[in-house]
Structure 1
Amino acid sequence: MTSLPSLNCVSTNNQQQQNTDSTIDNSLLTDFYQLTMAACYVGEGVEQRWASFELFVRRLPESFGYLIAMGLAQALEYLEKFHFSPSGIAALQATGIFTNVPESFWSLLAEGRFTGNIWAVPEGTAVFANEPLLRVEAPLWQAQLVETYLLNTLNYQSLIATRAARLRDVASANATLLEFGTRRAFSPQASLWAARAALAGGLNATSNVLAALQLGEKPSGTMSHALVMALSAMEGSEDQAFTVFHRYFPDAPLLIDTYDTIAAAQRLSAKVNSGEIQLAGVRLDSGDLVSLSKQVRSLLPGVSIFASGDLDEWEIARLKAAGAEIDGYGLGTRLVTGSAVNGVYKLVEIDDIPVMKHSSGKVTYPGRKQIFRSFEGGKVTADSLGLVSEQHRRYENEEFSQASQVPLLQLFVKEGKRVQPLETLAEIRQRTATSVASLPEVTRRLDNPVSVKVEISAQLQQLTEKTKTSRWGDGVMG
């Protein structure tokens, strides 16, 4: 595996990208203990035992009533390309750490590919605590080694998509929302994933040029204070800076708060009223956005007003409640950073034997599971977390079939091969909007949200109790 995952659309082919990719082996983008555990499995002859791991969050981030599942496309691409390169294996051997492992460990890495199954909720689906976003069913060594990468992409993109969905919910469907977080994301790779997740979560566009082009979108943005200051100094005035920028980019908003926001708006108003220019919009990046936006609106009534500057869903809600005259928002730092999604990846079954973790505060449910979602009038009323074996029985039962219970986890990969086509960004964005709209208002609110109740089925509860009292006392049923 020798290339960074694309963003599931147009790939870049320039020489710089090729040179960068050639130095990266994503099979090694894992935690060290994944490799040591895999080596132990090989040494004990159990590496091919069939295992099931589920990826879920124990609790939602603070003040979140739901989580939007995202990152599956990159996870599947990673699994599709999963293999260890000769140079990667040589680098591992050179560490000297694996001196005592059997030789078959190296041949397994050299020849291995992902041959398992992937069940997941489609991207853009709202989920809650303890519900699997994804399940891996594969030979034990494969299922173990992919943990780190899967957690990385699903945790981060789910966080950004959820923030984006909340921003869209608060700002309304008509507001223009732009992703401006590239310079504050945790890495260049994170900025690409953040842009994708933000668009899939409901934002209109991103300022990240590479991400936009890879996704088949147009990049979007305005201008910076540096341009205004540089051209003002050289051309003689702020108005000259506006004139120059507008000449080349007539559809882009002008940043008007470098010096005196209201004075700039007054001068622009005179030009608009005289027919000298047709102004698409202005951006405010500082100051009292409520007061400034109202004054600018009175001066430029037909011009869109765009706001930026460390905004988040709570600040947008405050601005709207105060009557701010703002048509669009730029979201950066607080969108791409913040509380982490603490997703975990736990073994739930090995060789058809249900297993569970008993640790205090970290107890898990055993067995392969399915999420059954109930609707009434198009609104989610409850979720039931049950065993996969329940699905057929539920739909044979008339009571369940009339209750509009929908299983959320779908099969995406079977025996290492994709069985569903790639989805477009537009399809995922629409699912996000539909999924959020189906949630109760108390779940969508920003302050003290109440998640949809997740019931544990009787069969799952019985299996949990049985596994707890298994003969080994460690969560393995004998």
Structure 2
Amino acid sequence: MEDLELVIRPEDYSLLTDLYQLTMTACYVGEKLDQQRASFELSVRRLPKGFGYLIAMGLAQVLEYLEKFQFSEAQISALQTSGIFDHAPEQFWTLLKGSRFEGDVWAVPEGTAVFANEPLLRVEAPLWQAQIAETYLLNTINYQTLVATRAARMRDVAGENATLLEFGTRRAFSPQGSVWAARAALAGGLDATSNVLAALKLGRKPTGTMAHSLVMALNALEGTESQAFTAFHHYFPGAPLLIDTYDTIAAAETLSKQLKAGEIQLAGVRIDSGDLLELSKKVRPLLPEVSIFASGDLDEYRIADLKAKGAQIDGYGLGTQLVTGAPVNGVYKLVEIDGIPVMKEATGKVTYPGRKQIFRQAGVSDRLGLMNEDANGEIPLLQLVFKQGQRIAESETIAQIRDRATKSVQSLPEPARQLENPIAFPVELSHALSELTDRTRQRRHLS
């Protein structure tokens, strides 16, 4: 029978993969290669259009996945019943039954700015384990990195004093995605989320205002828009109010009179439609001490435009453009097998061989080199977070990750941060990596 609930639980993680990860594993077992030590690196070949950097995110969920990785008897039975693996070696099933992740993971800390062709993480493990992890790792890191980067760009444009709220749950790509998006947005620089589940799981207080439906319903059934506001404040004193259901300026004028008369308290008002620039300028003198929030498909470009034109806006509700958009096309490629460096040479998809390290000279340049190279006063970004199947990295709070993201962005040169035609941060190949790339290419052509 179909499972229409389709809820993902930790015990399902091992099957949340593409079929070819399992068929390749069966092949590795049959060819007696499954236990060969392999290294895979996750990187982005090209930044999304208009991006000058990425903010790495999603590592926490990767580590949770690897800690809980296993195949249950029910899952193995379901795979056997499918008929796809009828010709797979018997040892394939034995391997799955005793499965636990046994490898090492190196990763840049969440909140770190990274660039094209730099590994966000590397998995070093028995070939079949490093292979089968690909799908889940790409899913969580690609999406959370996208949202965290958009959040960081919005924060960079809006400034440190603006209040930025994540409102993207209804536009995220799934219920699970909405929770990940809320986490990535907060870690990338936003102040709060309207997603109640995400907020409470992350030890935060959810935030929000109201929808137009409440104003319309109470207006229709109980009297006026003003009475709708009064009713809402009866249960949530001083809460921000959505004032653009009918006439934004008329609503602001009424609230202004009530404030002057001492009849109400008001933390803020939100404008969700119309000309945000002009409306904010007209509302400001009416409500000079009240925070004005704007929402409605806003992104970093729109925020920059509103600020440049003198909009009187104190904060922004950010949804669709934050949690959707051009994807981060991270790839996960084999770079070493049994100590032998390997590389992909397909046109437009070349990868560099060997286990690598990012050496950063803060605010100046990055050097992409091999793991065994000396730092030469630079900062090595990839850190060991999982060793021999055991997690060794301490969990970080959202506040810690957000602080790192803020400092990472601020340390970048202005050309890499600009919204229009950003100039790529310099990433140089080390002499050792260049030589290894040439030798690896020559070896393949001679074989």
From 276, 286, 289, the equivalent of 1:302 is: 289
The partner residue of 1:184 within 160, 167, 171 is 171
Distance 1:358 1:231 in 2: 64
Matched to 2:289, the amino acid is G
Which residue of the other structure, out of 245, 261, 268, is the alignment partner of 2:248? 261
| Rounded Cα–Cα distance in structure 1 between residues aligned with 2:11 and 2:121 | 26
1:382 to 324, 342, 365: 365
Taking the aligned partners of 1:359 and 1:420, their CA distance within structure 2 comes to 36
The letter for the 2-side match of 1:389 is: N
Of the candidates 174, 181, 194, which is equivalent to residue 194 of structure 1? 181
Kindly indicate whether the alpha-carbon contact (under 8 Å) linking 2:42 and 2:332 is maintained by their aligned counterparts in 1. Answer: yes
Structure 1 equivalent of residue 411 of structure 2: 438
Tell me, yes or no, if structure 1 residue 453 matches structure 2 residue 426: yes
User: Which of 264, 280, 284 is equivalent to 2:267?
Assistant: 280
Measured in 1, the distance between the counterparts of 2:7 and 2:326 equals 31
What is the aligned partner in structure 2 of residue 73 from structure 1? 60
SS at match of 2:33: coil
Counterparts of 2:391 and 2:29 in 1: how far apart (Å)? Answer: 27
Query: 1:440 and 1:251 mapped to 2: Cα distance?
Result: 42
The CA distance in 1 between the partners of 2:54 and 2:97, in whole Å, is: 37
1:417 maps to 2:390: yes
Let me know the Cα RMSD of the aligned residues: 1.3
Q: CA deviation at 1:112?
A: 1.0
Do 2:11 and 2:68's aligned partners in 1 also have CA atoms closer than 8 Å?
no
Indicate the SS of the match to 1:184. coil
Secondary structure at the residue paired with 2:445? coil
- CA deviations 1:287-311 (Å, max 9, x no partner) are 0111100110010111000000000
Residue deviations 1:198-237 (CA, integer Å, cap 9, x gap)? 0000000000000001111110000000000000111110
Quick check: 1:250–1:280 contact (8 Å CA) kept in 2? Answer: no
Q: Quick check: 2:44–2:330 contact (8 Å CA) kept in 1?
A: yes
Provide the rounded CA distance (Å) in 2 between the counterparts of 1:51 and 1:178: 42
Deviations, residues 250-299 of structure 1 (Å, cap 9, x unaligned): 24210000000001110110000111111111000000111100110010
1:473: how far off?
2.6
Correspondence for 1:429 among 402, 421, 445: 402
**Which residue number corresponds to residue 112 of structure 2?**
125
Tell me the amino acid that sits aligned with residue 465 of structure 1: D
Which ranges of structure 1 fall in alignment gaps of 5 or more residues? 1-16, 395-399
Match of 1:87 in 2: 74
The secondary structure found in structure 2 opposite 1:191 is: helix
Q: 1:342 to 1:22 in 2, by over 3 A?
A: closer
Q: Which of 358, 362, 376 matches 1:371?
A: 358
Partner residue, 1:234: 221
1:121-160 to 2 correspondence within 5 Å?
121-160=108-147
Over 3 Å counting, the alpha-carbon distance change for 1:337 and 1:345 in structure 2 is: same
Distance 1:22 1:216 in 2: 21
2: distance between equivalents of 1:178 and 1:243?
Answer: 24
Once the two structures are superposed, the pairs formed by residues 331-410 of structure 1 within 5 Å of their partners are 331-375=318-362, 380-391=363-374, 394=375, 400-401=376-377, 405-410=378-383
In structure 2, give the amino acid aligned to 1:445: Q
Residues 199 and 425 in structure 1, CA contact (< 8 A), matched pair in contact too:
yes
* TM-score normalised by structure 1 residue count: 0.91
Distance change >3 Å, CA 182–CA 58, structure 1 → 2: same
Does 2:204 align with 1:221? no
CA offset digits 1:49-94 (Å, max 9, x no partner) = 0000000000000000000000000000000000011111111100
Q: Distance in 2 between matches of 1:189 and 1:120?
A: 23
Deviation track 1:155-211 (CA, whole Å, cap 9, x = no partner) reads 000000000000000000010000000001110010000000000000000000000
Instruction: Identify the residue that residue 445 of structure 2 maps to in structure 1.
Output: 473
Letter of the 2:284 partner, please give it: R
Unaligned runs of 5+ in 2: none
Asked whether the 8 Å contact 2:238–2:264 carries over to 1, the reply is no
In 2, the alpha carbon distance for the partners of 1:441 and 1:349 equals: 36
Work out the CA distance in 1 between the residues paired with 2:135 and 2:274. Answer: 43
Distance (whole Å) between structure 2 residues aligned to residue 115 and residue 193 of structure 1: 26
8 Å contact from structure 2 (residues 192, 207) kept in 1: yes
In the other structure, the counterpart of 2:190 is 203
CA shift for structure 1 position 20: 4.8
- Alpha-carbon distance between aligned partners in 1 of 2:421 and 2:121, rounded to the nearest angstrom: 27
8 Å CA contact 2:10–2:65 kept in 1: the answer is no
1:24 to partner: Cα distance: 6.0
Q: Is the 8 A contact 2:369 2:432 kept in 1?
A: yes
Change beyond 3 A, Cα 1:411–1:24? closer
Paired residue secondary structure (1:144): helix
| 2:156 alignment partner AA | D
SS in 1 for 2:310: coil
Contact 2:297 2:320 in 1 (8 A): yes
1:248 maps to: 235
Read off the aligned partner of 2:368 and give its amino acid letter: L
Partner of 1:469, secondary structure, is helix
C-alpha offsets along residues 418-440 of structure 1, whole Å, 9 cap, x if unaligned?
11210011100100001011001
Give the partner amino acid of 1:162: T
Inter-partner Cα distance in structure 2 for 1:99 and 1:30: 19
Secondary structure (helix, strand or coil) at the match of 1:25 reads: helix
CA offset at residue 451 of structure 1?
1.7
% same residue? 69
What is the CA-CA distance between 1:21 and the residue it aligns to?
A: 5.6
